[in-house]
């Protein structure tokens, strides 16, 4: 059997690109692939997901082709071979009031079994504005992943504070998050739903 030819491309443009007075669009990114699919990251993996964070592609830097090569590597690559499947991704980075920075990516994946739609986001809020992370008195990073899956008939959304979040000093970490899901149609869990939350809490490494 002939192995399908995997085709995927990515483009990224950094700015600032557009100044909307209250917000600045700092970059856009596009991607598509044929005979391939993109493994959906868990919320814990989002900080390393190359479509969200370029450092997730290791030493690939800002080169789109190097990023794609890195995404295909490893024992569980982000981009994997899947015959007659294709995907599109579009994302942007925006900064608001010099306090909030967000990167969001929407992705559609198609196969003969159905469609999967994803939204990924990484939102950072910090004070004082534009200060280094270690010099901030408040640094909150929220990671989010939402998936609408028409192959297995479910909707799932999860969000969590990243381990980088802290209050006053980097040693006082903030934790918290939630997850919600619903199933329908052919799913063995059709008609069921779930909601789980974890209250925001603080863990100090200062021994106070």
pTM value surpassing 0.85? no
Asked if the peptide bond before residue 85 counts as cis, ω within 30 degrees of 0, the response is: no
Say how many C-beta atoms besides its own lie within 10 A of residue 109's C-beta: 22
What is the per-residue pLDDT for 4? 52
Asked if residue 36 belongs to a domain, the reply is yes
Asked if residue 2 belongs to a domain, the reply is no
pLDDT tens-place values along the chain, 208 residues long: 445 555 656 666 666 777 777 788 888 888 888 888 888 888 888 878 888 876 544 444 455 566 666 677 667 788 888 888 889 999 888 888 888 989 999 999 998 888 999 999 999 999 888 778 888 889 999 999 999 999 999 999 999 998 888 888 888 888 888 999 999 988 988 999 999 987 666 665 555 4
What is the per-residue pLDDT for 194? 92
Q: What is the DSSP string of 90-105?
A: EEEEEEETTTEEEEEE
Asked if the peptide bond before residue 128 counts as cis, ω within 30 degrees of 0, the response is: yes
Asked if residue 1 belongs to a domain, the reply is no
- Partners of 132 in beta bridges: none
Quote the number of domains for the chain.
1
Asked if residue 163 belongs to a domain, the reply is yes
Asked if residue 75 belongs to a domain, the reply is yes
What are the CA-CA distances from residue 63 to residues 43, 50, 58, 95, 115 (Å)? 25, 12, 12, 23, 29
Q: Is 54 strand, coil or helix?
A: helix
Q: Classify the phi-psi angles of 181: left when phi > 0, otherwise alpha if psi is within -120 to 50, otherwise beta.
A: beta
What is the per-residue pLDDT for 48? 80
Range(s) of the domain holding residue 78: 7-204
């Amino acid at each position: 059997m002939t192995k399908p030819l995997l085709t995927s491309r990515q483009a990224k443009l950094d700015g600032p690109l557009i100044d909307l007075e209250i917000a600045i669009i700092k970059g856009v990114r596009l991607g598509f692939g044929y005979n391939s699919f993109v493994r959906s990251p868990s919320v814990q993996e989002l900080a390393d997901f190359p479509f969200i964070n370029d450092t997730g592609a290791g030493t690939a830097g800002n080169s789109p082709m190097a990023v794609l090569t890195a995404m295909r590597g490893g024992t569980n690559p982000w981009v994997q071979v899947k015959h007659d499947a294709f995907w599109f991704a579009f994302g942007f980075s925006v900064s608001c009031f010099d306090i909030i920075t967000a990167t969001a990516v929407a992705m559609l994946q198609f196969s003969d079994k159905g469609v999967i739609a994803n939204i990924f986001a990484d939102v950072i809020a910090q004070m004082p504005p534009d200060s280094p992370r270690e010099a901030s008195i408040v640094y909150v990073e929220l990671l989010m992943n939402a998936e609408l899956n028409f192959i297995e008939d479910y909707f799932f959304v999860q969000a969590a504070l990243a381990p980088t979040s802290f209050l006053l000093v980097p040693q006082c970490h903030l934790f918290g998050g939630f997850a919600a899901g619903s199933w329908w149609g052919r799913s063995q869990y059709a008609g069921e739903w779930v909601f789980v939350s974890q209250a925001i809490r603080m863990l100090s490494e200062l021994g106070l």
